[in-house]
Structure 1
Amino acid sequence: MLSVHTSPLHQPGTGDAGGMNVYMVELSRALAEQGVEVDLFTRCRGEGGPALEDLAPGVRVRHLRAGPRRALPKEAMPDLVVPFSLALLKQKQRYDLVHSHYWLSGQAGRIASFGWGIPLVHTAHTLALVKNAHLAEGDSPEPELRIRGERQVVGDADRLIANTADEAEALRSLYGAAPPRTEIVRPGVDLRTFGPGAGRAAARARLGLPKDAFIPLYAGRIQPLKGPDVLVRAVAELLAMAPELRRRLLVPVVGGHSGAGREGSMWRLAAELGVADVLQACPPVPQERLAEWYRAADVLVVPSRSESFGLVALEAQACGTPVLAAAVGGLPTAVWDGVSGMLVRGHDPVEYARRLRWLAAHPQARELMGQAAVRHAQGMSWRTSAARTIDVYEDARAGAYDRMGGVGQGRRHAPAPTAPLSWRNEKAVVQV
């Protein structure tokens, strides 16, 4: 597996780390439990760790030297695709298949697939054209460089894994993905970490939260695409509708800032709207601690403008917490509308405020939704996701074998991939 711009070891909710990091870790563990050995390759950022780390039995994280040994913005990453790929091709281990995550890794995957003569499976996680269609006001669109790069990866991959039918349709309609090469595999949830535990009261006691508060929770990176501004405006609308709620309303925001030039904007907006007193900033936390936050909350709010799946919604439901989410991307799959949570069409803060007010006034309904949420989430395990992914891997290997006329399982005689898109050194792939 390849993850050029973020390490599976990074704390979700910080920088560029989020649901994709969780996805890679949990899928790899589940694959290993079913007999598939996994090496996760990422870029060495000079953080002092060893070049090879064991993540779980059968799962290793390998750090490759490519570019400066420090954290770099995602915008600088296209220039590192070729150096990363060259370092990757020097590995002596023989692999059966390469699985890339996000378009930058897909570019490196194209080179590795050709150089090693093995199939390429790609999971996009997010798509530029989808993101650009749902930008927040003032947010920067994804560049044409990324769009062209995504088209290359979609065209070259032996199989594309989409989280939902909506994502599969976007790959087909926006990027021309061939339907026979596009497979739908729903992500899962780690049911060993995320579960109801000892319940809401116990979780609040451990976190030091008021036992009688109404607590809508935000968990994730703080960036315009995730809609934190929608939540802040919804809280302001809620208090305008029901000012009596102020004395018992608490809105924890568990996550870190992501992206350039927007740090603090959520908190400035909260101050401008007079609701900063009910918001509580909390740093990103490990998965076990995050589960406590889910259990402590009355509802998780996910007002994203675009979301390939929304793993936080599934995690919260597994902990017995209903979800109030935007009806975008994979969230209608993750949340059973009207049963395990509520979906909102659009991003009108008033609509979110109305739902929050109703939830605050109906604790028994929240409890019933929470019980249904646990049952809903328990039907989506990483074990099932891994079994389905193995099927995709085998199909990709068989397809590569067939194209070679039954010679081997790779693509050593297939046409070389076109040069990876970069701001510099675009001809370097020819040397590979």
Structure 2
Amino acid sequence: MKIGITCYPSLGGSGVVATELGKLLAERGHQVHFITSSMPFRLGSFHPNLYYHEVEVNRYDVFRYPPYDLTLANRMAQVAREEKLDLLHVHYAVPHALCAYLAKQMVGRSLKVMTTLHGTDITVLGYDSGLSEMIRFGIEQSDMVTAVSNDLIRQTKELLGVDKPIELVYNFVDKRRYYPRKVDEIKRHFTPNGEKLLMHISNFRPVKRVQDVVAVFAGVRERIPAKLLLIGEGPELTNIRRIVHERGLQADVIFLGKQEDVAEMISLADVMLLPSEKESFGLVALEAMACGVPVIATRIGGLPEVVSDQECGYLAEVGDVPEMIRRTLELLLDPELYQRFSQAAIARSRNTFCHETITSQYERLYRRMLDRTACDREPCLPTRV
């Protein structure tokens, strides 16, 4: 198949999943064309089946803001025509599903569009009355729609009143890259006296509740020697630095900023903290589990579908810092319990969220969508029994 993929190319779960999916499809012999505003940061080294088409936004005095959406739609149509694409797979309903719809109108009905919903396009933008109608239109005009959790499917239908079937396709991890690694030497750099290492990775938006991460760490540190490793950047970073200093934790909190490849770094952690108030899936939790790191997370959104409570991590209510402290200490102070959780986390990541299984699921959905295309072009006769 010839597949066009559009996603946000910067750091973020949707961009990571879209890029990794494209690479896996290319490995299976499909021709994959990324149509994005910049090179996806996880695209990596050359592969003969991978292509990148930049969306260059020109500035015109007549427009107050550069017309990215129209430029993207036009570029999608150009690539679809020139490369004879079978389908466009777009990640996020706005603006990508709408742009793909415009591209399809320019190219013709033979081009099919799959839209994958990742969360923010529904859980945040869906509440904006100025956008909700467009989001609903983009979803309903797509030939097929997928979402990364059952909870996100539920929210989409309840919030937008969407009748269109939505297929569940979980996010995934490539077990060839995410696995427990021998990182003792690197870990000694951060924990020279054998302290336990807690970790948090995010884009430091308010919904990630990084202040709860610091509070949990402070509670754990009162009982046992510990360090906290914070990875990522975002609007809350300055505030978090201030909180760390106010609580006198600066000697034990390490800010590493943005890191493009966290597969090796996650293995440094003893526990991953994810106390978000919104999380449609929780890719960081899955990446941690694949590396054998138990997760302390909140019981919201898609996280309960990822983290099996009391098996490979613990779930708490949003803002329940004392419970998160208690559960973290429970793991760190009981080596036998910790090892059981660690092994269960690895097994769950490989059985339920394996990259091979999810890639095959997308392939089956692509073929089903394209089979409908064949029926559109000519009458589909019933199969004889």
Q: TM-score, normalised by structure 1?
A: 0.77
Mapped to 1, the partners of 2:128 and 2:152 lie a distance apart of: 20
| Unaligned 5+ runs, structure 2 | 381-385
The 5 Å alignment of 1:156-305 reads: 156-179=141-164, 181-198=165-182, 201-205=184-188, 207-210=189-192, 212-239=194-221, 243-245=222-224, 248-257=225-234, 259=235, 262-287=236-261, 290-305=262-277
Mapped to 1, the partners of 2:242 and 2:376 lie a distance apart of: 57
> What code does the residue aligned with 2:343 have?
Q
Matched, 1:97 2:79: no
Return closer, same or farther for 1:340/1:254 CA change in 2, 3 Å cut-off. Answer: same
Matched, 1:61 2:52: yes
Matched, 1:31 2:25: yes
Mapped to 2, the partners of 1:157 and 1:253 lie a distance apart of: 38
Secondary structure of residue in 2 paired with 1:296 = coil
> What code does the residue aligned with 2:252 have?
V
Once the two structures are TM-superposed, the CA of residue 157 in structure 1 deviates from its matched residue by 0.9
Secondary structure of residue in 1 paired with 2:233 = coil
Return closer, same or farther for 1:187/1:61 CA change in 2, 3 Å cut-off. Answer: same
Secondary structure of residue in 2 paired with 1:276 = coil
Deviations 1:302-354 (A, max 9, x none): 11221221121111111111111112222212212111111112222222222
Deviations 1:6-26 (A, max 9, x none): 32xx4xxxxxx2111210121
> What code does the residue aligned with 1:109 have?
A
Corresponding residue of 1:87: 75
Return closer, same or farther for 1:263/1:322 CA change in 2, 3 Å cut-off. Answer: closer
Matched, 1:328 2:300: yes
Mapped to 2, the partners of 1:94 and 1:372 lie a distance apart of: 45
> What code does the residue aligned with 2:36 have?
T
Mapped to 1, the partners of 2:379 and 2:359 lie a distance apart of: 27
> What code does the residue aligned with 1:190 have?
D
> What code does the residue aligned with 2:272 have?
L
Corresponding residue of 2:383: none
In structure 2, which of residues 112, 119, 136 is the aligned counterpart of residue 126 of structure 1?
119
Contact 1:235 1:275 in 2 (8 A): no
Secondary structure of residue in 2 paired with 1:145 = helix
Mapped to 1, the partners of 2:44 and 2:223 lie a distance apart of: 52
In structure 1, which of residues 340, 351, 359 is the aligned counterpart of residue 331 of structure 2?
359
Mapped to 1, the partners of 2:342 and 2:48 lie a distance apart of: 34
In structure 2, which of residues 134, 158, 177 is the aligned counterpart of residue 149 of structure 1?
134
Contact 1:53 1:60 in 2 (8 A): no
Q: TM-score, normalised by structure 2?
A: 0.86
Return closer, same or farther for 1:191/1:44 CA change in 2, 3 Å cut-off. Answer: closer
Mapped to 2, the partners of 1:44 and 1:393 lie a distance apart of: 25
Once the two structures are TM-superposed, the CA of residue 402 in structure 1 deviates from its matched residue by 3.9
Secondary structure of residue in 2 paired with 1:170 = helix
> What code does the residue aligned with 1:385 have?
I
Return closer, same or farther for 1:105/1:347 CA change in 2, 3 Å cut-off. Answer: same
In structure 1, which of residues 40, 43, 48 is the aligned counterpart of residue 34 of structure 2?
40
RMSD (Å) for aligned C-alpha atoms:
2.8
Matched, 1:3 2:6: yes
Number of residue equivalences: 366
Work out the percentage of aligned pairs sharing the same amino acid.
23
Contact 2:152 2:301 in 1 (8 A): yes
Mapped to 1, the partners of 2:241 and 2:59 lie a distance apart of: 33
> What code does the residue aligned with 1:201 have?
D
| Unaligned 5+ runs, structure 1 | 11-16, 70-75, 133-140, 408-432
Secondary structure of residue in 2 paired with 1:215 = strand
Mapped to 2, the partners of 1:399 and 1:370 lie a distance apart of: 44
Contact 2:26 2:49 in 1 (8 A): yes
Once the two structures are TM-superposed, the CA of residue 2 in structure 1 deviates from its matched residue by 4.2
Deviations 1:222-269 (A, max 9, x none): 111222122122233445xxx243xx2100001122x5xx44111122
Once the two structures are TM-superposed, the CA of residue 208 in structure 1 deviates from its matched residue by 4.5
Once the two structures are TM-superposed, the CA of residue 300 in structure 1 deviates from its matched residue by 0.7
Deviations 1:158-210 (A, max 9, x none): 1111112212222222223335x311111211111111122x534514x5433
Mapped to 1, the partners of 2:243 and 2:218 lie a distance apart of: 10
Mapped to 2, the partners of 1:202 and 1:279 lie a distance apart of: 19
Contact 2:35 2:75 in 1 (8 A): no
Contact 1:300 1:323 in 2 (8 A): yes
Once the two structures are TM-superposed, the CA of residue 35 in structure 1 deviates from its matched residue by 2.9
Return closer, same or farther for 1:64/1:163 CA change in 2, 3 Å cut-off. Answer: same
Mapped to 1, the partners of 2:319 and 2:97 lie a distance apart of: 32
Structure number with greater CO (CA < 8 Å, separation at least 6) is 1
